[in-house]
Homo-oligomer: A and B are copies of this chain.
Amino acid sequence: MAGVCVIGLGLIGGSLLRAAAASGHETWGATASPVDMCAAHDAGYHVESTEAALRRAADRDALVVLAVPLTALREPLSAVAELAPRCRLTDVISVKRPVADAVRRIAPSTRYVGGHPMAGRAASGWVAGSETLFHQAAWVVAVEDDTDPETWRDVAALALDCGAHVVPAGPDEHDTAVARISHLPHVLAAVLAAVGADGGPLAWELAAGSFRDATRVAATRPELVQAMCEGNRRALLPAIDDALGRLGAARGSLASSGSLAATIRTGHDGRVSLDNHRPAERQRITIDVTTPAALARLRAYGDHGGRLVGLEGTRAMIEVDPAAPSVDDH
């Protein structure tokens, strides 16, 4: 790779700049936030204007990473279209379909491959970031029918260099999955915190670890949570409907027969399946990610819980559950 240019130096972008630099990439960055810019500069990183950073990226055929909120995407994306229109481009935004659509509309000639590292914390900004934020995290690298395999490889390599493992997924499959395991939890935490608060001081005096754990993410900055959840509206609505249906069924069963057996049992089975999801024995498969059929296979591996844990040149090492269906059936 010929350098990594990071636009946006908050928690995620700032951590990515640090991690990419630490793993030996030439890096530079830009941000609209003077606070983040000065903090990155004082920490010894190369920061400049967005315009200068993108011109440099175009000159060197660098990988450009957009690390801005979805609601602030238009401006830097327009700058990319103007200053580095054919660059290799990725992002770290928590939804993938809306970003892919925006790229097609605003910067259609870039070689775009979407990304989403599943890492975060309640605090935000450059100061909250860390070189090790992505260690052991899942990092989705999106696969579409027209994805450029070479760029896909480069984005996957960056994620691995940052200490993450790579989960290949289609943008719609990604958005549906994160609606269930990330955005719905934020909505339910908000609902639960509000119901608890209605209980007044006595409820707060009795609230123990289970309530604090269940509402922890409600302490995150509301603007960030709102932008993240609203940006995935298409996939979040069915997830909320699923939760509403299940909660309504629990209510009906408790009111009529006094039983919560089905609700509690199904939830317990679900949680146990999460804990047992990663089997001790993982099969390792090696494929060349630049062959014509590779991307479809990668996507199928991702659907079945597979993940990419190493790259040598164009050969990817993939860990899969030996009990999962063969992807050759697809």
Do A181 and B271 touch (CB < 8 A)? no
Contact present for B167 and A206 (CB under 8 Å): yes
Interface status of A310 (Cβ within 8 A of chain B)? no
Are B251 and A211 in contact (CB-based, < 8 A)? Answer: no
Q: Are A268 and B222 neighbours in the complex by a CB distance under 8 Å? A: yes
CB distance from A91 to the nearest CB of B (A): 17
Other-chain residue from B202, B255, B270 in contact with A194 (beta carbon distance below 8 A): B270
Report which residue of A138, A191, A261 has the largest number of chain B beta carbons within 10 angstroms of its beta carbon.
A191
Other-chain residue from B138, B206, B213, B272 in contact with A178 (beta carbon distance below 8 A)? B206
Give Cα distance in the complex from A182 to B215, angstroms.
Answer: 12
- Cβ proximity bits A116-146 to B, threshold 8 Å, 1 near / 0 not: 0011100000000000000001101000000
Q: Would you call A303 and B230 a contact (CB within 8 A)?
A: no
Q: Cα distance A243–B277 when bound, in Å?
A: 30
Contact of A201 among B176, B268, B324 (CB under 8 A): B324
Is A307 on the interface with B (CB-CB < 8 A)? yes
Complex interface: stretch among A5-13, A29-37, A99-107, A231-239: A231-239
Say yes or no: A307-B205 contact (C-beta < 8 A), given A196-B181, A211-B182.
yes
Taking CB as reference atom, which chain B residue is nearest A248? B244
Assembly stoichiometry (copies): 2
Query: How far is B275's CA from A193's CA once the two chains are assembled, in angstroms?
Result: 11
Q: Which of chain B's residues have a CB closer than 8 A to the CB of A185?
A: 192, 210-211, 214
> A251-287 toward B: CB 8 Å interface, digit per residue (1/0)?
1001100111101111111111111010000000000
Q: Is B188's CB under 8 angstroms from A214's CB?
A: yes
Q: How far, in angstroms, from A240 to B249 measured CA to CA in the complex? A: 11
A180-216 contacts to B (CB < 8 Å): 180-182, 184-208, 210-216
Interface residues of A (CB under 8 A from B): 118-120, 137-138, 140, 167, 169, 173-174, 176-178, 180-182, 184-208, 210-220, 222, 225-226, 229-230, 233, 236-237, 239-244, 246-248, 250-251, 254-255, 258-261, 263-275, 277, 302-305, 307, 321, 324
Residues of B contacting A229 in the complex (Cβ-Cβ under 8 angstroms): 254, 260, 264
- A197 CA to B242 CA, complexed, in Å: 12
Q: Please tell me if the beta carbons of B277 and A204 are within 8 angstroms of each other in the complex.
A: yes
Residue of B nearest to A267 (CB): B190
A255 near B226 with CB under 8 A, answer no
Chain B residues lying within 8 Å of A176, measured Cβ to Cβ, are 199
User: When the two chains form their complex, are residues A222 and B182 in contact, meaning their CB atoms are under 8 A apart?
Assistant: no
